[in-house]
Structure 1
């Protein structure tokens, strides 16, 4: 490493650096003159990260389905950074994402893409799981479920991650066997949710998509090892963003949200800090800890969450066994036979 902020090199078996102190200073100067691509960068978390990277001197390309030129002009003016651009992109369309990466490379001052934030996402769209009138045996099939949430939150993320790795591997003048430094770094940041870890009964598709992002991260942080590509995952708690529907805001009224600035800070750090790799960051409300790491020892041992889950499943299995035993005893006492 080549900085006063340097930390130990990655674990040789699992591409994961030492535990991170989210409040510690890091080499923000390493962001300058690098190129960052962010999907869904026109609002919410993405917009906050765009502004922060622009302030630090990075070139930022936004891929978004919305028209965001006014936002781009605002960021250029407020930061004095002219290297902020937007490209219209439908993340659910592979060709549209290919076009995004191709144009981002053309716009990049250093003719490379150094870091990608697969941030585009939506909440639960439609009510596919709600009871609907249906009579079996009739000619009409049940209505097709609305797959928008899955298409954006996992198919789109897979496209972004896949293209990011392809472009990172073709990064000019970077040796594949060198560990990250301020001048030699490639980074992929994925965004999950607290729903990556816990059930969200009101949003089955959203819950499934965020669980899938966690699974994608767990694979990529290891398979990216040969190319020394950093992969990190953010799992924010509820944050006041456009993705939260009005009904959910009513239910959450009176509770604490996680702070947007905390998510933006750790996302920016994951994109720019070459010493952070292979980590999952939960972002809770500050009164319960704020930014925290989880699953740090996952490659070596089961984490606490998994151990508790296994214990719970074992208890359920044991209880089912006792219930079955009791039923058999009752049948035997009554002289009944089970087929």
Structure 2
């Protein structure tokens, strides 16, 4: 894969006890050292105008001034330092690079993966939250539409937390289909099945809140039985993955029970879906706070594109997940 990366993203340092630390990127880079075919690309930072296409401009100016004055606690979870603004616009620029590179035809072993931080999927239109200041995947989506003439973009967010910010920004959009596959009831407490979009966007938001202890088999069923049919019907030009790795069973922040292999399996499913609808494909880093499993999981995404065949799990879909998927299918008029 081709990884978008910049040392600028290391300069955002919320403090030694904060889970969203620069060590996340260092661990990923260290884990990729032993892999073949890894290439790093540094992009330009996103411009204020590009970011303001999906965020309130006054809010962005407030964040920039907040950082220029030394930063501090924006909220109890979301901390800035002087370098945070530059890291945030760099992270958004890397996401735009990933979308652009995919639309330029990069695929297979050249598939782009943006390794930016701070992450973005909790940042709403006019506020920061959940470690996020700029919604990187939403910025990249709008950039692809405005600058690269993509007509329809789909986003699959497999971070363990609901992508509330992405949903907030895109909720009334008919040209973007947003899917969030997350642990139900976890921070930030949004992402219910009946949140399906409104106005022109009615039906283009799909939330799949998974019960605690959902595992590889359960997640693959969600992808195969409700997400793939919905996105296949939507027929996007570009498919972006908000790739968080905190649903891993050894991540300290959730109760979902995914294995490392699950990320290879989900990557393979997403790649197949993109191929089936002839969509460009790119990945944008979100969460993942167990450094070793984060590094191993990102490396396995890379290895999947480098030719490794994922190993299918044994077992049946849990009763709770089967019920959830039935409700999701009903909300979106799908057979299940």
TM-score above 0.5: no
TM-score, reference length from structure 1: 0.35
Bigger Cα Rg: 1
